Each structure stands twice: as C-alpha cells, then as structure tokens.
Structure 1
Amino acid sequence: MVFVLSNFAVGGGVSIFAHNNLKHNFTEELSQDDNHYLWIHLEKLSLDIGAIYKPGRTNVKNFLDTFSLQLDRRKRAVVFGDFNFDLLDPSSSVEDYKDTLTESGFKIINKIDPLQCTRETTQNKSLIDHISTNLKENRFHLAIIESSMSDHKQIYFEIDKYQPQSKPKIGYEAIDYIRLYKLMENNKVDNINENYTEFECKLSQTIKQCKVIKVKILNPPRQGWINRNILDKINQKNILWQKHKNNPKDEGIEKDFIRERNTVAKDIQLMKSNYYLKRFFECKNKPKKMWDLLNSLANNKTKEIASKLKKGDLEVKDGNNICEYFNDFFSTVGLKLAEAIPTKYHSNKTYTSSTTDANYANYGLSNLNLTTSKEIITIINKLDSNTSSGIDNINTRVIKSVKGCISDELTRCINTCFRTGTFPTTLKIAKVTPIYKSGPKSDPSNYRPISVLPVLSKIFEKFL
C-alpha cells in the first residue's frame, strides 16, 4: 500500500509503503508552507509512523510549531524525514529542532558522526535525514546504505520485537485451612487434655504442617484516582500549553489554557477526594490498613528504627544489642517513673488497700463460675480478624477456622488455669515494635512501644 502527499508537479512530497500484511490506517496528512507531513497507524504494533519533508527554504519556527503539536499527540511513534537540519553543523535552528524533540519525549536514533552522514559530496558531508522515536523499551538497529537512487543515502532501520518485562513475583507462606480443619478434627477425638502448654504446642505444630508456599505478582504502584478520562484531559491541557508557549501573545489561546488547566485541577482533586473517601470506608474496621493509608498520605517514611542508640556515653550499634536495650528500657521505665514520685505520696493507701467490707470478706476466685465451650466460641466470634498475630504466629483467622475443634480443649485449659490461679507464661510475652515519635532517633525515650499479644491471650482476658 502506498500513501503519497505532494502539491508539486516536480519535487517535494512524501510517501509511505506499508506491507499489506500489516493492518494499518491513514491518520493524518498536511501540506503547509511547503512542508509535508504524513502519518499512518499500525494497529498490531499500536505504533504511529510519520514521514516528514522540510525543504531548507521554509520557516523554521512555523515548521517546529506544527511538528511539535503532531509529536505531542502520539504516545508510541517513529518519525522519519528529510528535515534539512544538519546535525553535523550545530546552529540555533538545529538546537531548536533538538529541543522540540526532547520536550515531546522523542530522541534521535541517528549516530551523529561524519561517517554516518546521509548526504555526501566531494566537498561536504551532512546529516539531514533523521529518525526519531519516543519508544523507551525497544532496541533499534540502524545502518546507512550507499545508493544511486538519490543524492541522499538510504537509511535501514529495524526495531527489535519488544519483550515486555515480566512483573516480579514473590513467594509467601499461606495456610491450607481445609487441611488444618481436617487435622484438628482428627486430633479432637478422645482428647481430654487440660494443659495449656501442650494445647498450644499441638496447635502450632499442626499449623506448620498446613503451611504452603504461594506466589503472587507484584503490580507496579498506581494512583487509584487516575483514569482514562483524566489522562485525556491532561493531554488536552498539555497541547494547549504548547500552543500558548508558541504563541505567548495570543490572549485567546492563553484563556483556553488557563480554563482547561483549572478544570483539570478541579477534576483531579474531586477524583482524589472520592478515591480516598472510599478507601477510608474500606479500612474503618482494619487498623493496620488504616495506618498504612494514613502513612502514605502523610508521606511517613520513618518506619525503621535508628541504626544506633545512645546508652550513656556509649553507642549501641549491633541489631541484637539495640533490641535488648529497647527491651530493657521499656520494661524498666515504669519503675523509674514510680521512683521519681515524691516520697510523701508513697504512704497513701487509699486506692491500694484491701476492702474490709463484710459482704466481700469471703469473695474469692473459687466463688466465680468457670467458662463453657459456648462462651469461648462466642468470644472467638467477636475477635477482630484483621489483627496481627503475636509472637506465636497464630492469627485470629486460624483460631476462627478451627474454633469448633478446639473450643472444648481450650475451655478445659482455661478453667484449669483459673482454678490453679496461674496464667500461661507464653501468653505474657508480647511482640513489641518501637515507633519513632520525635526528637533525636538515638534516644530510646523518643520511641513509643506498640505491643502485640498472642490472640489466645485475648480469649483468656475476655473471660477474666
């Protein structure tokens, strides 16, 4: 197929030959001020191909104004042409031409070297035939071919087939809940255990047996409020800005640009507000996701603790030693604050002395009712499924998925602890994360501890 554009009986004009196997369509033709512009679109490659001819006699500014508008409208394009801008002989017009390409996101593929000239006489070499593109990921091959067909050399240009980079994948641990339920159901038979430590150990081991490795694709970050409509309006605004830049004295173009700019800004703000309003409603019962959202809005990047802490005149740098120092600081800060209370308040027993009311004299743990399986299941159902797991790595979803299998044994364990006046040691251990507040990061007092207790401890606490 051949597309030809020419207004002259002799000379001028541009042609594009496209193979019939390539589905293509004609998109634009323009002959203006003796400059010629021709564009086609290759559907399969989603690629625009341009052919340009600019005689050396035509006005540079008028040509670049029209050319830049054509480039701005094309997202994936390759443009060929005889531009009569000699890249081997830099001048103000050549620099303006290069700037126009750069501002539109295009780069020249030709190698700027006398050996790669496209026109050669006995006295002079010039590089006036160029190929430019805004394709970022493709690789190109270009060769200059001697030919007797014209006083210009031919350019052979090849684009390697683009192989899109596959999205990164990561493996993560997940739990096969169906298998977990079956195993816990089998372990339930003839189980009369009342020891919590044994119960916790058995549950943890069963969970480990049911862990599987899954793979997920990491999609690139994307602003949720940006849609096709917004992108089209931004492109239209950019086109008007380019017109205003080329015609700064035209008040009509300036007003059109300002109106479009303000409209786009309002539309983006509205879309952004609606997007985050929806996100906040989705996260209202999910504290972790809510904090992630708030941190993203506040650009809060201070999630990591300091690389060193000050301990008197010494500096603690080793990771394990930093953890131990934080642990020591948080576990003793309460005692230090209590010691700082004036001595005259130490003898005040108003709120700490035991009651002497006769009605409560014989009231003790033995008088309280023990829990039941039904009560334990009710407590489990009310637990928040979105909370993090404790140091035992047993999360709420696991507990809820096997509540019918563990409720009887867990009830016996809780009642045994209740009767003996003990509380499981493992449930007293919290996973503590220091959260930076303000001030020097090397001072541990500028961090607040966030403690995450095991989910099972919350069941004990709800009952007590």
Structure 2
Amino acid sequence: MKYPTEINIIRFKNYKNLLVRILRENERVYYENSFKNSDSPRKTWNLIKEKIGKNKKLSHPEVLVNTNDVEVREPQDVANMFSDYFAGVGQAIVSAGLDLSPYRSHKEYLPPNECTSIFLVPVSFAEFHKIIKNIKNGNSVGHDELSTNLLKSIAGVIFEPLIHIFNLSINSGIFPSRWKIGRVIPLYKQGDKSDMLINHGSQATSKT
C-alpha cells in the first residue's frame, strides 16, 4: 500500500473482503452450472478433481544440471541423462559397499525349476478375436505408435501374420526385441526440478 493511513487500511480491507466474496460467489455459480450441465460421469468426476486440485498436469523438467554443474536443455540430452542415471543405480549401490546381507534373495522364495511344468497351447483365431474384442478402446500409443482403436480397426487384415508370430515365438522360445521394450518415465516430486538425483522417481511402463 502506497499511503498506509488508517482510513486507507480500512478501505483496503473492505475492498479485499468484497473481492473475496465476489470471487467465491462466481466460483459457486460456475460449479453449480457446470454440475447441472454435466451429461456424463466422466465430466462430473473431472469437475470434482478440478475442484479438489487433482487435475493438475505433471510438469517435466526442461533443464537439468549434470555432474559438472552444466545446464542441459536439449530434450535428447535430458532423456539420456535420466537413462544413464537410472541404468546405473544398481551399480552405484554395489560400488557404495552397502551391506545387503540382511535382505534375502528373491530366489529363496521360488520353487525348484521344472523344465516341463508349462505348456502353451498355440494361439487360435478364436482366441485372437476374443482378446482383440475385449481390449479397452483408446487412442494412447506405445513405442510402436499403434493405438488400440487402430489395432481393432485393422485386426481383420493382420490377424494371420500376428498369429503366426505368436505361435512361432511360443514354439521357439524367442520373442521379438520390440516386445521387450519398457518405458521409464521420470516423475517430478518436489524441490529443485533441475536436480535429477534427489527429486525424481521413476515409473516403468510397457505396451506391446
């Protein structure tokens, strides 16, 4: 306040309270009309999430600082930094000399290997058709850039080569390398976005 006299302070508080009341009333009218005009459960839930603050988009860091305190801005370089960091986490733990003896190996929970314990029946057209039909519709894509909507629309054309690949993989025990691709997504948590080492977790996803 430029002239904080007693009368100006009183006026400021009055106008501030008036503004707050107007904003709250406009917000109430907005949500009341929005809920009335909502014609689907999805829109209703989106409004609820918007109101409680759960519709905020995750912001990904545009700048990272490498180990030499140099800013990295190019998207490809940023992605490579994340890749190098997460790929080296295991080796970093080993190099640090941490005592892992209190932790049991996952192998202790597994039964003995049985080479003939599993038999996979060859994929049939009926099974393929049923699986394709039950896939949830969507436009999201994986590394192959194919959405489930597109896959469903061309299923009648590509079913023969796909079934052949499936059965060939089962019989040979070899699966295409592209089916093994995983996607690691860095998730910003809190603090300095440029500090990759302490403020970013990861989420591993895959889509085939």
Q: Distance in 1 between matches of 2:36 and 2:163?
A: 47
1:351 has 2:109 as partner? yes
Bigger RCO of structures 1 and 2 (CA < 8 A, at least 6 apart): 2
Aligned equivalent of 1:386: 138
Tell me which protein shows more strand as a share of its residues.
1
1:453 has 2:184 as partner? no
Q: Distance in 1 between matches of 2:205 and 2:87?
A: 15
- Pairing 1:364-375 to 2, within 5 Å after superposition: 364-365=117-118, 367-375=119-127
Q: Using the TM superposition, give the Cα deviation of residue 302 of structure 1 relative to its aligned residue in structure 2, in angstroms.
A: 5.1
Q: In angstroms, what is the RMSD of aligned CA positions?
A: 3.8
1:400 has 2:152 as partner? yes
- Pairing 1:211-230 to 2, within 5 Å after superposition: none
Identical-residue share of aligned pairs (%): 22
2:181 to 429, 436, 453: 429
Q: Using the TM superposition, give the Cα deviation of residue 311 of structure 1 relative to its aligned residue in structure 2, in angstroms.
A: 2.9
Q: Using the TM superposition, give the Cα deviation of residue 420 of structure 1 relative to its aligned residue in structure 2, in angstroms.
A: 1.3
1:305 to 61, 66, 75: 61
Aligned equivalent of 1:27: none
Asked if the contact 2:123/2:163 (under 8 Å) is kept, the reply is yes
2:88 to 332, 345, 355: 332
Partner amino acid for 1:317? Answer: V
- Residue by residue over 1:413-433, the C-alpha shift from the partner in whole angstroms, topping out at 9 and shown as x without a partner, is 011111111221112224444
Asked if the contact 1:431/1:452 (under 8 Å) is kept, the reply is yes
Asked if the contact 1:435/1:448 (under 8 Å) is kept, the reply is yes
- Residue by residue over 1:223-267, the C-alpha shift from the partner in whole angstroms, topping out at 9 and shown as x without a partner, is xxxxxxxxxxxxxxxxxxxxxxxxxxxxxxxxxxxxx99987654
Report the 3-state secondary structure (helix = DSSP H, G, I; strand = E; otherwise coil) of the residue aligned with 1:350.
helix
Tell me which protein shows more helix as a share of its residues.
2
Report the 3-state secondary structure (helix = DSSP H, G, I; strand = E; otherwise coil) of the residue aligned with 2:202.
strand
| Higher alpha-carbon Rg | 1
- Residue by residue over 1:262-287, the C-alpha shift from the partner in whole angstroms, topping out at 9 and shown as x without a partner, is 98765444224445x65652587xxx
Query: Could you tell me the TM-score, scaled by structure 1's length?
Result: 0.33
* Unaligned runs of at least 5 residues, structure 2: 1-21
Report the 3-state secondary structure (helix = DSSP H, G, I; strand = E; otherwise coil) of the residue aligned with 2:65.
strand
Aligned equivalent of 1:420: 172
Q: Distance in 2 between matches of 1:453 and 1:396?
A: 14
1:271 to 33, 43, 48: 33
Q: Distance in 2 between matches of 1:343 and 1:264?
A: 58
Q: Distance in 2 between matches of 1:344 and 1:261?
A: 60
Report the 3-state secondary structure (helix = DSSP H, G, I; strand = E; otherwise coil) of the residue aligned with 2:145.
coil
Partner amino acid for 1:310? Answer: V
- Residue by residue over 1:283-303, the C-alpha shift from the partner in whole angstroms, topping out at 9 and shown as x without a partner, is 87xxxxx6xx75995573652
2:42 to 281, 303, 306: 281
Query: Could you tell me the TM-score, scaled by structure 2's length?
Result: 0.66
Residues 265, 410 of structure 1: alpha-carbon distance in 2 compared, 3 angstrom cutoff:
closer
* Unaligned runs of at least 5 residues, structure 1: 1-259, 285-289, 458-464
Asked if the contact 1:388/1:452 (under 8 Å) is kept, the reply is no
